[in-house]
Amino acid sequence: MGAVVFLFIAVVLVVLQHTLLAGVPLAPDLPLALVAWAVVDGGERGVLVRAWMVGLIRDCVDPGSTCFHTVAYFTLALVFLPMRAVVFHSRGVAWMLWAALASVLLTAIDAAFIAGVAPRWPPMLVGALFTGLATLPMAWLLKVLPRDLHPIGHGGE
């Protein structure tokens, strides 16, 4: 049941990102914040699948994306796997840092290699800060769900 809840949350956040927040230049990247929380705080089982699913959902909704988010989210989760052993999973700082760093990296790659323009650093850094901050209320709200409905396992299991 948790996987269904996770998919539902991912769809809602992706649609919200590409509708209401699409015109807001400093909006947090909510799907990336969800991936950050799921990768850092989630259990070992399904880490890569969760990142891949959110990326796939986002690529289905994003009009300008051709597998960018699917590959990027999966790769970021794969790179982070060895670091999971040294990170205290339920610490908000870890979620925030992962989300902010991933946001800067993906925005810079998107701007430079896909859009072909130079990254605009001040708005990119502010967006990364907001993306990092978005992990906190999202994670804290989702942690109160009952064990059977918890999208990534209860308490990082």
Show the domains of the chain with their CATH numbers: 2-147 (1.10.1760)
> What local confidence, expressed as pLDDT, does residue 153 receive?
64
For residue 149, pLDDT over 90 is answered with: no
Residues 34-52 have a mean pLDDT of 88
Collapsed DSSP state (helix, strand, coil) of residue 122: helix
Both tokens of 90, joined, read 């339920």
- pLDDT over 90 percentage in the chain: 57
| Angstrom distances, CA of residue 85 to CA of 73, 81, 88 | 19, 8, 8
> What local confidence, expressed as pLDDT, does residue 86 receive?
78
Mean pLDDT estimate for the chain = 88
